[in-house]
Amino acid sequence: MGKQAQVSLSCLRFLTALKKNNNKEWFQLHKAEFQREQEIIVNFADALLLELSKHDLIDTTSGKASLHRIYRDIRFSQNKTPYKNNWSGGFKRATKFRRGGYYYNIEPGNSFIAGGFWGPVPADLKRIREDIAFDDQPLRKIVSSKSFKTTFGTLKGEQLKSTPKGFDAAHESIDLLRYKQFLLIRPFTDEEVLSAGFVKAADQTFRHMRPFFDYMSELLSSDANGE
């Protein structure tokens, strides 16, 4: 590929400066700098996509296509600052038989690689809960595996404070049934993000998501009889 795939310190410094000067006037004065730093992130995302495509089928066509816009949608937000303070993006798995999504977030002091299900539609969430209620062992085996615990710690995501409708509060799997999101998140320090091995480390994190994704994909692409 020939392009430098390593995230540079200048990428983080730009975000730090943007956070202190989050207004259109400052951004316009530093537009050329923004474009240079964004190009470095695009190169990183291209390299990450190249690695990811070696072990999964991805719909997202390029690093640039994966990158989220720096401009915030402030229409329905109390926070009216016009720009995000992070570089982020996502890769979509190809075909309806591969479920789950990959995500990266680069931000001073808050970088992470993540994946999973941010907002399952009600039908999918109901299906997941029904499968867990019937037999929670496949999912428990995945989240208690050494590679999962070492990489992600625990399953993350929003949970209901009460019992999901149609399920018993005394169910032995109530801890899993309360999840509304199913997220796998691995934080990275600034030092790790800036290292030459970050692309490989990020890709290895994606690889460790596969048992969870394979479980969910099989569950959500078959009917209740497993066909």
pLDDT in tens, 74-91: 777 777 899 999 999 999
Domain boundary assignment for the chain: 9-220
pLDDT in tens, 193-206: 999 999 999 999 99
Answer positive or negative: Cα dihedral of 200, 202, 204, 210: negative
Average pLDDT estimate for 169-183: 95
**Confidence at 5, pLDDT banded by 50, 70, 90:** confident
State the pTM of this model. Answer: 0.91
**9-220 has CATH 3.30.360 classification:** no
Cα gap 86→103, rounded to integer Å? 13
Cβ burial of 181 (10 Å; 0-12, 13-18, 19+) is: middle
pLDDT of residue 1: 40
How much of the chain exceeds pLDDT 90, in percent?
Answer: 85
Q: Count other C-beta atoms under 10 Å from residue 155's C-beta.
A: 20
pLDDT of residue 3: 67
Dig out the tokens for 208 from the structure.
């460790």
Q: How far is CA 1 from CA 43, 44, 46, 50, 63, in A?
A: 9, 11, 9, 10, 13
pLDDT in tens, 11-57: 999 999 999 999 999 999 999 999 999 999 999 999 999 999 999 99
Q: Inform me whether the pLDDT recorded for 227 exceeds 80.
A: no
**Confidence at 223, pLDDT banded by 50, 70, 90:** low
Beta bridge partners of 105: 88, 112
pLDDT in tens, 113-139: 999 998 889 999 999 999 999 999 999
